[in-house]
Each structure stands twice: as C-alpha cells, then as structure tokens.
Structure 1
Amino acid sequence: MTEPLHWFTSSHSDNGGDCVEVADAQDHVLVRDSKNPHGPVLGFPAAAFAAFVSSVKAGELR
C-alpha cells in the first residue's frame, strides 16, 4: 500500500496565501499551488529540485 503524501510549505512562508506546497515522493519532489490542492501537480527529480533551492538560497536567481 502507498502512504499518502505529506504536503508542506516553506518555513519562510508568510501564510499570505500565495504559496506552493511540496511533497517528497521517493526520488522526486512534487509541487502544487496551495490555493488549489486538487489542481495540477508538477514533479521534479529530487537532485534538480535541490539544485534549484540551493541556487535560490545563494541569490543566483532573480
């Protein structure tokens, strides 16, 4: 049996309603709009998502 996904928002989220939620799905990270939890979900390889987050934290993306 597959366990249900645990969706969460960033600890830096201000809860203003314009957030994305992420869930760990083995070797992928799933992303969805927090305002539309039954809407589309994007999936990214975990390594690619980690590189994206690292770039954001380093200020490399605008």
Structure 2
Amino acid sequence: MPKIKTHKGTAKRIKLTSTGKLIRRRAFGNHMLSKKSKSRKRNIKTTAIVKGGMAKNVKRALGV
C-alpha cells in the first residue's frame, strides 16, 4: 500500500492539538462587518472544534 498524501488545503486550514482535537476558524469574518453585531463578530473571531463524522474525514485527509 502506498503512503496516504496529506490534503494540503485541509492542512492549511485545520490544526491538530496535542490532545487530538481539530481546531478551525469560523466563516463570515472578512467583509461587510458593519451590518453584523458586536457579539456576532466576537463569536466569529473565536476558533471552533471539528466534531463527529466530519472530524473523521478531516483526520483521514490530514493523514492522522
């Protein structure tokens, strides 16, 4: 069996923590920010954890 290649697009967007969790950025934080509330923009700035079946697919893409 050949080695599984890392999906570089995924690797640039998602980081693996030391405990094995997957950290990603949230969407909708680049433009048209004037119409978004302060609390919404503050929530967009925080990182999110990839969970469930999506996490399984991402780990496979990262070769973990």
TM over 0.5: no
TM-score normalised according to structure 1 size: 0.22
TM-score normalised according to structure 2 size: 0.21
Structure with the larger helix share? 2
Q: Greater Rg, structure 1 or structure 2?
A: 2
Structure with the larger strand share? 1
